Structure 1
C-alpha cells in the first residue's frame, strides 16, 4: 500500500542534469514521509533507487542519512 509520495526538481542546485543534490533528495524523502504521516523512526526497510553509479548512490545514501539522523532512531534500517 502506498501511503505518501513526493516529487522534486533541484533546478540549478544539483551536480548535473542526471544527478540530484543531497539536500534536494533529503527534502523529497522528508516530504514523502510527512505526506504519508509516517515517523521515520518506525521505518525498517528502505527500497532505494540504487542507480549503481559512483555518483548517484552516494548522493542517495547521504540524503537518507541526513533525513534519518534526526529521527532519534536506535535500530538499524535495512537498505534494498
Structure 2
C-alpha cells in the first residue's frame, strides 16, 4: 500500500499539525536533515534525522511543536503531509 503525499505551505503547517490523525504525518526536507512529525493520542513525536542518525523529541501540543521547529525551518524547507 502506498501513501499519498502533498506539499503544504508554511501558512497551513500549524493547521495541518493540529488535525493530524495517528496514521498521518508531516515530513520537512531541509538542506542537511529530514524532520518527521507524527501524533499519537496524547502527544507529538518529532524525529530529526541527520546522516541516518535519529533523535526523537516529544511535545504535548501543536504550539510546542511549532515553537521547537522555528529554529529548524528556513526559506528552503519543503513541507509535505502524508
- Relative to the length of structure 1, the TM-score reads 0.28
Structure (1 or 2) with the larger CA radius of gyration: 1
Structure having the larger proportion of residues in strand: 2
Q: TM-score, normalised by structure 2?
A: 0.28
